[in-house]
Chains A and B, each alone.
Chain A
Amino acid sequence: MTKNAIIMFSGDFDKAMAGMIIANGAAAMGNEVTVFFTFWGLNLLRKPGKVKVKKTTMDAMFGSMMPRGPEKAKLSKMTWATGQMKKTMKRKHVQEITELMTQAQAMGVKFIACTMSMDVMGIQKEELIDGLEFAGVATYIGTADESTITLFI
């Protein structure tokens, strides 16, 4: 089966939309798709509510300043217009970011969280959505080596 590997490095709303639309489209084409969430992209995997976990002061501070989940993500440009953009998208019947992510997982798209980034950003497994795998660069290279498409978003 054709494989595709996407690195979701950015946590920006627009870039997440692009990444998820490509992931869904690739899955619909019958491809085996893996999305690696790393650095800012990890925030897209966070649960919307605050999760009680033990953290250092620095980790807790970092965590509270970063968006919890895709609904909190902002546009990479014209950040002030994020709300307006979402309204426009809704009016034009574009799927919502959370829906695209759930749909991707339901289609069998594999979501992998980068453990090194999690450690650096002080994000723990309990704070992230269900259905994830946890891995590092070797897993990405292993998949990317066999993939016909790899993207860094």
Chain B
Amino acid sequence: MAERTVDVRGKACPQPIMETMRAVKAAAPGDIITVMATDEGFYNDIKAWCQKTGNELVKLEKRIDIYVAIIKKKEILK
């Protein structure tokens, strides 16, 4: 099981979701992907993205000025 980090701090919509998608796509099932973002919309977007794509949102939290999402890849993205 590998871990990856996606740093999209400072980047505007839709980049956080695009880059998350790329990282998850490149990962193997069961891998953990940590995403760091500052875009306000990311908090809700990542929930919607995980729900839609079937990947598990293990943790989503707002730290002082960034959002951190921990995603576990469930299955291979089509």
By a beta-carbon cutoff of 8 Å, the part of chain A in contact with chain B is 1, 21, 24-25, 28-30, 89, 92-95, 103, 107
One digit per residue, 1 when the CB lies within 8 angstroms of any chain A CB and 0 when it does not, for chain B 1-37 equals: 0000000001111110110110000000000000000
A21 contacts which chain B residues (CB < 8 A)? Answer: 13-14
A25 adjacent to B12 (CB under 8 Å)? no
Interface size class of B (residues with CB under 8 A): 10 to 19
B49 adjacent to A28 (CB under 8 Å)? yes
A70 to B74, CA, bound (A): 38
B14 adjacent to A24 (CB under 8 Å)? yes
A28 adjacent to B78 (CB under 8 Å)? no
A95 adjacent to B15 (CB under 8 Å)? yes
Report whether over half of chain A's contact residues are helix, strand or loop; otherwise say mixed.
loop
By a beta-carbon cutoff of 8 Å, the part of chain B in contact with chain A is 10-15, 17-18, 20-21, 48-49, 52-53, 77-78
Report whether over half of chain B's contact residues are helix, strand or loop; otherwise say mixed.
helix
B20 contacts which chain A residues (CB < 8 A)? Answer: 28
B17 adjacent to A28 (CB under 8 Å)? yes
Among A89, A95, A103, the most chain B Cβ lie within 10 Å of the Cβ of: A95
19 A-B residue pairings within 8 Å (CB atoms): A1-B78, A25-B13, A25-B14, A25-B18, A28-B14, A28-B17, A28-B18, A28-B20, A28-B21, A29-B48, A29-B49, A30-B53, A93-B11, A93-B15, A94-B12, A95-B12, A95-B14, A95-B15, A107-B18
B21 adjacent to A92 (CB under 8 Å)? no
A142 to B52, CA, bound (A): 24
Which single residue of chain B is at the shortest CB-CB distance from A92? Answer: B12
Across the interface, B10 reaches (CB within 8 A) one of A24, A93, A103, namely: A93
